[in-house]
């Protein structure tokens, strides 16, 4: 009796494996993303965007390679916000799960580690989660990214400030000490110098410390015109709360690299979020045309309908990563990693995220859109011209309604 069960089991296994073998018209995409742990809050954007995009592409007939059309299959593992685990999972994805191509994790330090695996196995990885320049200065051939370089995050903001009245002269630059934010601070210092603005307070803080009373007190006593801040979302949140409770009022302006575009951020701060400036590489705008979704606004709607929250640039960037593969595979006409890699390098298409074209180092170049929260709403303010009138200068905490 026992025997017959084992035999039966073996037969079903055999049947299953043969049916798998016949279903060869599948292209597997793999990713290891933060689904639990401290970074799960942002990690979910990537999983959801990948899934939504893959489903849509399959609905639309999949990917054409020569005469056969392939379906996409997505394999997302949870790295629990643990870098070492994510590295192991990428190896697993490549060598055991036999995925054809890799999508990225969230955050620069993860991308730094995980891209080494892509390079080691020579499997292309397109990632939309890490913006740090270190990822692209190692001469790796198999890593591409859809977040613009961290150095230039404040470029458009500074350009805008010079066109406003009064033009700020003294600036406080506050940045976390992790890879991404150090890149931002370095680039911003140069841009400020060119613009002739003086950095009077230049402080870095421990990433995730959440404690700004000392920095804020220094900013207050220096009496700066503007604050440019770079770090992660929860720290941005704490910074604003402590600004208010310590009555820190820069004369005209304060801005954050992250947080401002997300609905979570506005919800957590309520009316205290008003007037804050920020930036995003993407807004769900109808002018961004897309092959599968028509335009970015429809993507945002589909995303919100399915997952119950608004996508932000993380999600759009993740969706563009999937599209990059589809365009590249169809162009290469094969699933060969080398051929697809070369096709990705020559990507040149419009997507719901942006016009996708990678630089020689593998990173995309995009302007940041300056945004501001006005009466609880996110308003795009500036790209290379004023889009909507900014509320400027920002009123002091004590003088708000």
Partner 1 sequence: MLLAQILTNGVLLGGLYGLMALGMALVWGVLNIVNLAHGAMIMLGGYAVYFLFTGAGIDPFLALPIAIVGMFAFGYLLQRFVLNLIVRSAMLNTLLITFGLNVVITYLAQLAFSADFRTINPSYAGSNVVVGGITVPLVNLAAFVIALVLAGAVWLLLNKLALGRAIRATAQNLVAARLYGVDPRQLYAVTFGIGAALAGAAGGLYGTIAHLTPYIGASLTAKSFVIAIIGGLANPFGVILGGIFVGVAESLTALYAGPTYSDVISFGLLVVVLIVRPARSLRAA
Partner 2 sequence: MKSLPYVIALVVVVLLVFVPWVASDVMMQFAIDALLLAVLAQAWNILGGFTGYVSFGNSVFYGLGTYGTAIAMAQYQLPFWVGLVLGVILAVVCALLIGFPILRLRGPYFAIATLGLSAAMGAIVSNMPIAGSNIGLVLPLVRADTMFYELSLGLLVVCTLTVAWISRSRFGMGLVAIREDEDAAGTMGVNTTTFKITALVLSAFFTALAGGIHAYWISFIDPASAFDPTLNVRMVIMAVFGGPGTVFGPLVGSFILSTIYEYLASSISTAAALLFGLVIVLAVIFMPRGLANMVGGVRAHGPRFFLQNIRENRL
Q: Kindly write out the interface string for residues 109-128 of this chain, putting x where it contacts partner 2 by CB under 8 A and - elsewhere.
A: x--xx--x--xx--------
Which two structure tokens, joined as six digits, stand for 72?
């996409």
Closest C-alpha to 381, from 370, 366, 392: 370
Contact call for residue 184 and partner 1 (CB under 8 A)? no
296 binds partner 2 (CB under 8 A): no
Among 340, 98, 184, 373, which Cα is nearest to 262's?
373
CB-nearer residue toward partner 2: 159 or 177? 177
Is 209 near partner 1 (CB under 8 A)? yes
Q: Tell me which residues in 145-184 interact with partner 2 (CB under 8 A).
A: 177-179, 182
Q: Does 82 interact with partner 1 (rule: CB under 8 A)?
A: no
Site string for partner 2, 382-401 (x = CB under 8 A): --------------------
The one among 80, 203, 242, 310 contacting partner 2 by CB under 8 A: 80
Residue 233, binding choice from partner 2, partner 1, none, Cβ under 5 to 8 Å by partner class: partner 1
Give the phi and the psi of residue 279 in degrees, each rounded to 5.
-155, 155
- 205 forms beta bridges with 176
In the complex with partner 1, the residue whose CB is nearer, 214 or 334, is: 214
Query: Could you give the CA distance from residue 377 to residue 13 in angstroms, rounded to a whole number?
Result: 55
**Count of other CB atoms within 10 angstroms of residue 169:** 14
Q: Select 212 or 353, whichever has its Cβ closest to partner 1.
A: 212
Contact 133, 150 (CB under 8 A): yes
Cα–Cα distance, 302 to 298 (Å, whole number): 6
Q: Of partner 1, partner 2, none, which one sits near residue 16, judging by CB under 5 to 8 A according to partner kind?
A: none
State how beta strands 369-374 and 277-280 pair: antiparallel
Q: Which of 64, 138, 193, 267 binds partner 2 (CB under 8 A)?
A: 138
Q: Across the strands, what pairs with 29?
A: 74, 101
Cα-flanking dihedrals φ and ψ of residue 295, to 5°? -150, 175
Q: Is the dihedral of CA 113, 155, 160, 367 positive or negative?
A: negative
Q: 49, 77, 125, 378: which one contacts partner 2 (CB under 8 A)? A: 77
Round to whole Å and give the CA distance between 243 and 134.
32
- 376 lines the binding site for partner 1 (CB under 8 A): no
Of 128, 131, 148, give the one whose Cα is nearest residue 321.
128
Residue with tokens 């599968």: 292
Q: Which ranges constitute the DSSP H helices of 162-245?
A: 179-195, 213-222, 233-245
With CB cut-offs between 5 and 8 Å by kind, which of partner 2, partner 1, none does residue 246 bind?
A: partner 1
330 binds partner 1 (CB under 8 A): no
Window 234 to 273, contacts with partner 2 (CB under 8 A): none
Indicate which single residue of 18, 122, 217, 388 sits in contact with partner 1 (rule: CB under 8 A).
217
- DSSP assignment, residue 168? P
For helices 313-332 and 40-59, the axis angle rounded to 10 degrees is: 40
Q: Which of 9, 38, 223, 359 forms a contact with partner 1 (CB under 8 A)?
A: 38
Q: Provide the pairing of β-strand 369-374 with 294-295.
A: unpaired
Which of 40/379 has CB closer to partner 1?
40
Q: Compare residues 117 and 369 and give the one whose CB is closer to partner 2.
A: 117
Cis peptide before 347 (omega within 30 of 0): no
Taking the C-alpha atoms of residue 206 and residue 107, their distance in angstroms, rounded to an integer, is: 17
Could you tell which of partner 1, partner 2, none binds residue 116, using a CB distance below 5 to 8 A set by kind?
A: partner 2
Q: Which stretch binds partner 2 (CB under 8 A): 108-116, 268-276, 282-290, 372-380?
A: 108-116
Question: Which residue number, 132 or 156, has a Cβ lying nearer to partner 2?
Answer: 132
Q: Which of 18, 69, 95, 217 binds partner 2 (CB under 8 A)?
A: 95
- Which CB sits closer to partner 1, 14 or 396? 396
- Cα angle for residues 87, 93, 97 (degrees, 5° grid): 155
Q: Which residues sit at the interface with partner 2, rule CB under 8 A?
A: 35-37, 77-78, 80, 83-85, 87-89, 91-92, 94-96, 109, 112-113, 116, 119-120, 132, 134, 138, 177-179, 182, 206-207
Q: Which residues sit at the interface with partner 1, rule CB under 8 A?
A: 36-38, 40-41, 44, 177, 203-206, 208-215, 217-218, 220-221, 233-234, 237-238, 241, 244-247, 264, 268-270, 272, 397
């Amino acid at each position: 009796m026992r025997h017959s069960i084992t035999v039966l089991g073996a037969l079903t296994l055999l049947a299953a494996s043969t049916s798998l073998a016949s279903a060869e018209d599948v292209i597997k995409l793999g990713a290891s993303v933060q689904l639990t742990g401290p970074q799960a809050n942002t990690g979910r954007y990537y999983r959801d965007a990948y899934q939504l995009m893959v489903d849509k592409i399959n609905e639309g007939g999949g990917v054409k390679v020569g005469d056969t059309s392939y379906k996409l299959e997505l394999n997302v593992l949870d790295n629990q916000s643990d870098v070492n685990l994510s590295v192991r999972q990428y190896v697993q994805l490549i060598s055991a799960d036999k995925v054809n191509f890799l999508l990225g994790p969230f955050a620069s330090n993860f991308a730094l580690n995980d891209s080494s695996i892509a390079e080691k196995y020579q499997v292309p990885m397109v990632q939309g989660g890490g913006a740090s320049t270190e990822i692209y200065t190692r001469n790796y051939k198999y890593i591409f990214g859809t977040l613009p370089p961290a150095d230039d995050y404040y470029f458009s903001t500074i350009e805008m400030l010079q066109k406003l009245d009064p033009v700020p002269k003294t600036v406080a630059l506050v940045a976390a000490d992790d890879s991404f934010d150090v890149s931002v601070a370095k680039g911003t210092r140069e841009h400020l110098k060119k613009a002739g603005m003086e950095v009077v307070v230049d402080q870095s803080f421990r990433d995730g410390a959440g404690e700004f009373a000392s920095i804020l007190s220094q900013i207050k006593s220096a009496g700066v015109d503007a604050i440019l801040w770079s770090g992660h979302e929860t720290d941005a949140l704490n910074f604003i709360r402590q600004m208010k409770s310590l009555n820190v009022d820069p004369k005209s302006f304060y801005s954050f690299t992250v947080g401002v575009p997300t609905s979570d951020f506005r919800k957590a701060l309520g009316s205290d979020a008003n007037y804050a400036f920020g930036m995003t590489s993407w807004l769900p705008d109808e002018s961004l045309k897309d092959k599968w979704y028509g335009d970015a606004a429809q993507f945002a709607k589909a995303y919100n309908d399915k997952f119950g929250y608004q996508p932000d640039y993380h999600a759009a960037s993740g969706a563009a990563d999937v599209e990059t593969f589809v365009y590249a595979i169809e162009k290469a006409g094969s699933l060969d990693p080398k051929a697809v890699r070369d096709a990705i390098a020559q990507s040149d298409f419009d997507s719901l995220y942006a016009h996708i074209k990678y630089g020689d180092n593998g990173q995309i170049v995009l302007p940041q859109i300056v945004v501001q929260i006005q009466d609880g709403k996110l308003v795009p303010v500036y790209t290379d011209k004023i889009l909507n009138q900014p509320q400027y200068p920002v009123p002091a905490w004590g003088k708000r309604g």
